[in-house]
């Protein structure tokens, strides 16, 4: 039932496809297939080329296989995109011509109450993108120490009230476990003074932080970018969409390093690092959604697209 209502509007679709500069005979990787929105447009441009589609969400993969069933040049792989290097090597692929990463949570995941991603619906605290993994949002909320909760809410949510939220969570769970998204929402809202609530719910940052912790979203992101650039053929492109400042900062910094010839400390008068740029920046400033897309898809408002090309 879940997969039949899997809806996800691909963000910055035209910008991604244009940015990948797709060759009909190339090998491309969609590291986060989601609802196959980007994948469909990629494979439509291929003739003798191939698409490797990766996702760690079983429901997403099932939907993608159905939506791309008419294309025989797609290889589906259940994995985290951070296993990219192993995935392509296991397929005996030495180089690829383009890679796309959409680091956002899919609309389907957010809009499915039982997945526990959203504070807009009541559901069990889950938040797992890969439902076969053991760690859930329930575990984070009910077993992490107050200090660890405060740390992840501050670091991953950039929440100024992280300590008071962590304190309140521990206080409430002493009486009984916090089991649902609505319970967590109420706890977080009660820990933040009402004058700071703003227009929407003030629990957005906390939910983001817990989701990032559950799915280890930032761990290894920098490493896999290096792996992906290494596997790009000359002229191949890597396009990454981010949705919050923490992700974007990692992508921006790695792209900057990879596109710079010398990364020595500025105080050193002569280069001693011998670092050579391996990519060029296709866009120096991140590409953002047009006004038209913003009207059609509000979730594109925080999306930033950065692209590099292998030298």
Q: Which of the pair, 131 or 97, is modelled with greater confidence?
A: 97
pLDDT band of residue 8 (cuts 50, 70, 90) is low
What is the percent of the chain where pLDDT is above 70? Answer: 97
DSSP code for 4: G
Domains and CATH numbers, the chain: 3-103+218-310 (3.40.50.150), 116-215 (1.10.150.170)
Candidates 46, 51, 40; CA nearest to 91 is 51
Contacts 24+ apart (CB under 8 A), 47-52: 48/24, 48/73, 49/22, 49/23, 49/24, 49/25, 49/73, 49/97, 50/74, 50/75, 51/27, 51/75, 52/27, 52/28, 52/77, 52/87, 52/88, 52/91, 52/93, 52/96
Residues present in the chain in total = 311
> Mean pLDDT across the stretch 24-39?
96
User: Within 10 Å of residue 95's Cβ, how many Cβ atoms?
Assistant: 14
Average pLDDT, the chain: 93
CB distance 306 to 19 below 8 Å: no
pLDDT tens sequence across 138-192: 999 999 999 999 999 999 999 999 999 999 999 999 999 999 999 999 999 999 9
pLDDT score at 119: 87
Distance CA 309, CA 303 (A): 20
pLDDT score at 5: 53
- Judged against a pLDDT cut of 50, whether residue 80 lies above it is answered with yes
Could you give the 3-state DSSP secondary structure of residue 157? helix
């Amino acid at each position: 039932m879940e997969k039949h209502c899997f809806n996800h509007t691909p963000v910055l679709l035209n910008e991604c496809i244009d940015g990948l500069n797709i060759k009909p005979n190339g090998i491309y990787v969609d590291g986060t297939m989601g609802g196959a929105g980007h994948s469909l447009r990629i494979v439509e441009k291929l003739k003798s080329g191939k698409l490797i589609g990766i996702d760690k969400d079983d429901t997403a993969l099932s939907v993608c296989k159905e939506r791309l069933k008419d294309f025989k040049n797609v290889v589906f792989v259940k994995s985290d995109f951070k296993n990219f290097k192993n995935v392509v090597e296991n397929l005996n692929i030495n180089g690829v011509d383009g890679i796309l990463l959409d680091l956002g949570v899919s609309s389907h995941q957010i809009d499915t109450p039982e997945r526990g991603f959203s504070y807009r619906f009541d559901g069990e605290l889950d938040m797992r993108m890969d439902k076969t993994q053991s760690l859930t949002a329930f575990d984070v909320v009910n077993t992490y120490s107050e200090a660890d909760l405060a740390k992840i809410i501050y670091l991953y949510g950039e929440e100024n009230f992280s300590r008071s939220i962590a304190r309140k969570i521990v206080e409430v769970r002493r009486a009984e476990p916090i089991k649902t998204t609505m319970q967590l929402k109420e706890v977080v809202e009660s820990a933040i003074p009402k004058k700071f609530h703003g227009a929407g719910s003030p629990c957005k940052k906390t939910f983001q932080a817990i989701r990032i912790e559950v799915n280890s979203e930032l761990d290894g992101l920098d490493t896999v970018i290096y792996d992906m650039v290494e596997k790009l053929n000359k002229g191949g492109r890597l396009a990454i969409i981010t949705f919050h400042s923490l992700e974007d900062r990692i992508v921006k910094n790695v792209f900057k390093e990879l596109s710079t010839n010398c990364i020595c400390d500025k105080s050193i008068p002569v280069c001693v690092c011998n670092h050579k740029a391996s990519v060029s920046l296709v866009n120096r400033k991140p590409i953002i959604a047009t006004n038209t897309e913003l009207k059609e898809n509000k979730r594109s408002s925080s999306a930033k697209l950065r692209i590099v090309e292998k030298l």
